[in-house]
Amino acid sequence: MLKLEARPQPSKLWSFGSPLLALLITVLIGVVLFMALGKDPVRGLQIFFWEPIKSPYALGELMVKATPLLIIALGLAVCFRSNVWNIGAEGQFVIGAVAAGGVALLADKTTGPWIVPAIIVAGVLGGMVWAGITALLRDRFNANEILVSLMLVYVADMVLSYLVFGPWKDPQGYNFPQTKTFEAVTQIPRLMDGSRVSIGLLIALAGAAALWIFLFRTYAGFAQQVGGLAPSAARYAGFSSRKALWVALLSSGGAAGLAGALEVAGPIGQLTPYVPAGYGFAAIIVAFVGRLHPAGMVFSAILMSMFYIGGELAQSRLGLPKSLTGVFQGLLLFSLLACDTLIAYRITLRKGAR
Residue 269 is predicted with a pLDDT of 94
190 forms beta bridges with 198
Residue 98 is predicted with a pLDDT of 98
- Main-chain phi, psi angles of 347, to 5 degrees: -90, 125
Alpha carbons within 13 A on the beta-carbon side of 102: 14
Alpha carbons within 13 A on the beta-carbon side of 222: 7
**Domains, the chain, ordered by start:** 40-319 (1.10.3470)
Task: Read off the pTM.
Answer: 0.94
Beta-sheet pairing, 345-349 with 2-6: antiparallel
Residue 352 is predicted with a pLDDT of 61
Residue 143 is predicted with a pLDDT of 96
DSSP states along 17-67:
HHHHHHHHHHHHHHHHHHHHTT--HHHHHHHHHTGGGSSHHHHHHHHHHHH
346 forms beta bridges with 5
6 forms beta bridges with 345
- 291 and 55 Cβ atoms separated by less than 8 Å: no
Chunked in runs of 10, what are the mean pLDDT values of the chain (354 residues)? 87 91 94 92 92 92 96 97 95 98 94 95 98 96 96 97 96 92 95 90 97 95 84 79 93 98 95 94 95 95 94 89 87 92 88 58
H or E element at residue 136:
helix 115-141
Q: Which of 212, 203, 323, 205 is nearest to 263 (CA)?
A: 203
